[in-house]
Structure 1
């Protein structure tokens, strides 16, 4: 019978048949099958919803009508919904609401009727809107609301194993009047649940989630800095001071946890420990100040070469002393040798040794060698002259006085 009732919804005037199904059902909501009088079509009315649909939407509509005529409301609802998704005709939502009502899903039926009013605004005739509003008012007599509060955010909330959202649930959940089970579930926690019996129209429930992970107490003391950042397994968990230790909890497990303390200008301190059920962990982490200097040793070959560090003369032949951690330029110089330079990285608290071997600059050593050679040869020639010169030889007087021409010497 419903195929005639629903398929003959024409404009705002052909809904009385299905409205009769709905109104009779509201009197006794547990009765799902009613045999109302068929609403006869009136002349000069618009086409029915089925006549307005085409293609696949029309096929789904006809399938839904056939299923509804056999009281197969699950299948009818699915086919009506498919027809709506393909056509986006808001009038199709009325039949979806009827199917939900016949399945006992009164809150869902109300939602679909409200959607038809919202989406069909300006398209529905006044008597259609009045009919839908009447249906909503009738169904609201058989629903209740439940306000749900969950202790933890991000928990999935279920009513009778149907998910209704994630906490926090901002608005009360509408359900059919009766008993219901409300449950909250979140990873790492034991499910929390509560029951309502339907005697109250607007009950409120509170669900407290308890962790299903065993934990134990952790206390971390620090020695050294005024304040230090505490980490457990690389995750920041708080701070500790010299007078106030960190206090918290950590998961009980067979694998060890790593506890660390960090502070500026201090070397990070770490310690591992296994957390056991019922046994608190007490740890003391001592931090030492981070060294800002390193040690540098420079030796030269040959000896006597000047040593410069970062442009400053520091000594000759050998220099040893502290320097700031980082990169330094070493320059070694000595006359007659090529200049030697090197960039050295000195780590904090470490020592670096540098040996500088200079190569002789033979181009500059040629001049003094040549001068020395000339002096030696000249001295030898003079010695030969004085040895071989005749003792009684007199100088020859020149013809151009006052010049005197001596005895010619050997040419070199």
Structure 2
């Protein structure tokens, strides 16, 4: 009896073999990678032994630590401890001797266990102990830049004899630094009162979503973009916006830091799209007063809703109005932008008219005072007849002063009237060449939904 193999059964066999190969390949790849790491760990261990025998203890320490990270074997911990002893770092050596005993357990022979106990006793004789207490639990205890524990301590911290830099740090509190000296066999007790850190950092937060609200540690700070002073330490920042998922950021601020945080918001639900085209490229597009790009704007995603849209470019008539964006829909704006006419801005007409009115009022007021001085000057001779001759020198000086004051007032009034006349004529000229009505462009808006329904309208603003 012969087995007949059809084309379909043959293809099925090929497919099964292919699936089996691809199924086994990741396992083989993982196994190969694991073997490679183990081989590297062995090589680094042997290199560490060579460095140690050559008296290069720092290099040996690095190789043993790297080997242990690749292949955690308790025996390597003993080598690391011995390297620390050779380097005079007895507190570190003590830690690794204890780790060796703990992780080796019953695998360590009694003879080796006794040897290590003797080495631990020797190392302890070359170290002191440190106890640190703080008014706030959780403070990190740092010796010579390396964290060795947190308060409250369960047991004393062994420290190599000598002088060390002790730091106590807790997020949100002022750090404490002190230089301490520990002698062998001694115990130092330290207690610190940690105080709140009142230093601040400058933080600026911006969001890609319009109407975003900024919250820091649950307290509403304002709308995006937001900028202000924030106390140093760890904070939770939350950005909320209608139609968008809340975004959270965990930040750690340092004293006098200037931090800029930009948050890219993700739309919740099915977004709508906005596409804007125009006969003029490069016009700025603002959605709810937030710049979202330039024309041409292609399929910009936003949550469903009604938005105020404005488009502008220097030298062209701007356009603004409200547009509707449906969930899953596509709102398309076709805009025809016209160049601004050669007419002047209403600002120039307002300035010219204001100057004309102010100069006219000032000229009239000064003219009135000039006439009063002229009347007083003309009446002065009659005043002399009534008063008699008196001191002729003083009277003559007063007479001359009246004449001089009258001339000054008259001249000032003439200047103001002249200014009023010139600016008045300018205002009349500007009235014929000023664009008092807001420049407008014309837009055709098409709003399409996923159902295929659409409306077309032409709006002018």
TM-score range, shorter chain: 0.3 to 0.5
Structure with larger Rg: 1
What TM-score, normalized to structure 1? 0.37
Normalized against structure 2, the TM-score is what? 0.33
